[in-house]
Structure 1
């Protein structure tokens, strides 16, 4: 083999090494990115008796943009391994199993309690008197 053939062979081997290194680096990057995303993923745990919303993912044409795809609340009746949750509809009493990723907790509003009212008018008069006396306004 002549000198130019050897040179091209070395270039080809170098190019092959660079391609293999880039392939390995891409695999390492993919593993690290997946680990980071999995770490950031919030795993929701549900308990029996908890109220939850169900995400409806059916493809519909011409749906309203602002219409909520979350329906409910439903009541969790049983929690299985690997994120499967059995829910019951309070209105129809139907029971079915869904993936836990399609559920989110239903938070009921704050309980209303009797709150005392505070009359602010006397405090405003006192503040006004203090302001007038500090600036000698008559």
Structure 2
């Protein structure tokens, strides 16, 4: 009977140490998560996780751009595809801000002149 009580104590200690380990691991993981904030109307790119299996060297892992329609608490974002018009919710960790390229009208054009060599 005494051995059964000792076994029960060892089991309880193991459960307690496992609980403490899980709490420490979770706090470490949560500390290293990057919080991303999005606003409605912002353009974003979405990470396509299916390409991990069939990864091509030059394939882009990002899809989009999508437009953010609603931001929910805890990092959930509702996006809509402008081409298809479909809206769906995704985890904010799968999204990345989309930076549009500069058009020629906005870019400054600098004309370079060939240097003239002077013989000395």
TM-score, length of structure 2 as denominator length = 0.64
CA distance in structure 1 between the aligned counterparts of 2:10 and 2:45, rounded to whole angstroms? 51
SS of residue matched to 1:49: coil
Q: Is the 8 A contact 2:51 2:61 kept in 1?
A: no
Aligned counterpart in structure 2 of residue 73 of structure 1, from 65, 71, 88? 65
Q: Which consecutive unaligned segments of at least 5 residues does structure 1 have?
A: 1-8, 118-138
C-alpha spacing 1:102/1:112, structure 2 compared with 1 (3 Å): same
Q: Which consecutive unaligned segments of at least 5 residues does structure 2 have?
A: 113-120
Give the equivalent residue in structure 2 for 1:27. Answer: 19
CA distance in structure 2 between the aligned counterparts of 1:108 and 1:59, rounded to whole angstroms? 24
Give the equivalent residue in structure 2 for 1:128. Answer: none
Q: Is the 8 A contact 1:84 1:97 kept in 2?
A: no
Aligned counterpart in structure 2 of residue 103 of structure 1, from 67, 81, 95? 95
Q: CA RMSD in A?
A: 3.2
Matches within 5 A, 1:1-138: 9-58=1-50, 63-66=54-57, 67-90=59-82, 92=83, 94-99=85-90, 100-108=92-100, 112-113=107-108
Q: Which has the larger radius of gyration?
A: 1
C-alpha spacing 1:30/1:10, structure 2 compared with 1 (3 Å): same
SS of residue matched to 2:87: strand
CA distance in structure 1 between the aligned counterparts of 2:26 and 2:37, rounded to whole angstroms? 22
The number of aligned residues is 107
The structure whose residues are more often helix, as a share, is: 1
